[in-house]
Amino acid sequence: MRVLAALSGGVDSAVAAARAVDAGHEVVAVHLALASASPSATPGRARGCCTVEDSRDARRAADVIGVPFYVWDLSERFGRDVVDDFVAEYAAGRTPNPCVRCNQKVKFAALADRALALGFDAVATGHYARLLDGPGTTTGGRELHRSHDLGKDQSYVLAVLPPERLATALFPLGGAADKDEVRAEAAARGLGVADKPDSTDICFVPDGDTRAWLGARVSGAGSEAGDVVDASGAVVGAHDGAAGYTVGQRRGLRLGTPAPDGKPRYVLSVSVAERRVVVGAAEDLDVDVLTGDGAVWCGPAPEVGARLGAQVRAHGREMGCTVERADGGELRVRLDEPARGVAPGQLLALYDGTRVVGSATLSSAVRAERATLGA
């Protein structure tokens, strides 16, 4: 196959590209310039996947692997579909995952479309996830699975890829025993990025201070001061912009009035329209009915009543659930046990064993009896 390998400048994508070469593919490497022209990002100074240093590391890795190297400027798409979306979601009081959006709108959309148009058969990345091909699979077709190393598994951020996108994807690291194996392999291949630290923060937030970064960009109702209230509606404090708060957050609430029971309080919900942040006790965070929209199925859509695993953040634990609704773009599941800190905007990914069934973006997360009471 002719494979376009996306090189971030990090160790994973470099080893992935090298493995694609070893597998006999004709590989061309491309580094994505994502931050340079983004109107919302700090020009040129972002870290993670966007810096000149990363571009140089990527180029050097391509040299070592022995494949042609190009830089493609997808900053406009990234700025619009990832950065602006990130700001807009927070401004609306939700908690987005920019890596998910980047995969959905940039790497496996804009990049893949361009690659296919230029004559490539697949796009390879350094994601830790596995693709299993039919007909021997449960679904009979190509399936997305968790990586062999469950500790590094990144299938969650890929759960937004429909079958036609999975058809042209390649994840050469999915079978790696662990990150140590990949680093050792990088060193053995002479790749200078072998001991480069993992990127952890959001790549377009230069210093990792997401709150300050958002504060400079969120405008409108989400940036306006308002009340912090408890579940009864009593005002217990003030905030200077509801968009800066995330469900489950405990720190930085600066509450003037202590809770009657003296226990710590957490953000239960954020209403940007009402400029209100609701706080309460830890147990009030418990939710078990998760509703999402914009559902994407990686294979066949699940049946109502199906028993699946649910995961709501990149390295979160998997929780047992039952599908209550899977209709068009809508998804509702009931968790076996209540979970805490689940916020609208997060991606709900569903698993059947190690297989990724699909995902939806959460629009609400409530406790069943409250939902019933509210109905």
Binding site for another protein (CB under 8 A): 2, 26, 28, 31, 33, 36, 52, 55-56, 59, 68, 70-73, 75, 77, 109-110, 113-114, 116-119
261 backbone φψ class: left, alpha, beta (φ>0; ψ -120 to 50)? alpha
In contact, 44 and 54? CB cutoff 8 Å: no
Separation between Cα atoms, residue 168 and residue 172, nearest integer Å? 13
Give the tokens for residue 27.
């590989």
Least distance to another protein from the beta carbon of 375, Å?
40
Given the structure tokens 């940007």, which residue do they identify? 272
Identify which of residues 68 and 252 has a Cβ nearer to another protein in the complex: 68
- Out of 49, 99, 102, 298, the active site residue is 102
At closest approach, how far in Å is the CB of 117 from another protein?
Answer: 4
CB of 60 to another protein, least distance (A): 12
Distance CA 245, CA 224 (A): 12
Among the listed residues 50, 99, 203, 298, the single catalytic one is 203
Q: Cβ 69 to another protein, closest distance in Å?
A: 8
> Letter for the amino acid at 238?
A
Question: Token pair of 142, please?
Answer: 């190509």
Catalytic-residue membership of 298: no
CA–CA distance, 196 with 54 (Å, rounded to integer): 10
Among 368, 362, 367, residue whose Cα is nearest residue 268: 367
- Please, which residue, 6 or 242, has the CB nearer to another protein? 6
CB of 165 to another protein, least distance (A): 11
Residue closer to another protein, measured from CB, 51 or 291: 51
Inter-CA distances, 169 with 47, 120, 130, 312, 363, Å: 26, 11, 10, 23, 29
Please indicate whether residue 102 is annotated as part of the active site.
yes
State the Cα–Cα distance between residues 334 and 322, nearest whole angstrom.
Answer: 5
| Six token digits for residue 46 | 């972002």
CB nearer to another protein: pick between 104 and 311: 104
Query: How crowded is the C-beta side of 348, counted as CA atoms within 13 Å?
Result: 35
Strand partners, 227: 238, 276
SS (H, E, C) 205-226: CCCCCHHHHHHCCCCHHHHCCE
Looking at the Cβ atoms of 36 and 95, the one nearer to another protein is 36
Pick 73 or 283: Cβ nearer another protein: 73
Pick between residue 49 and residue 323 the one whose CB is nearest to another protein: 49
CA distance 73 to 34: 6
| Strand 69-73 versus strand 26-33 pairing type | parallel
Q: Provide the minimum distance between the beta carbon of 99 and another protein in the complex, in angstroms, as a whole number.
A: 19
Pairing of strands 347-352, 266-271: unpaired
**Cis amide prior to 264 (ω within 30 degrees):** no
Q: Which is nearer to another protein, 110 or 194 (CB)?
A: 110
Q: Which residue has the tokens 């994508």?
A: 13
Least distance from C-beta 280 to another protein, angstroms?
Answer: 43
Q: What is the CA radius of gyration of the chain?
A: 22
Minimum Å distance from CB 113 to another protein?
4
The catalytic residue positions are 102, 203
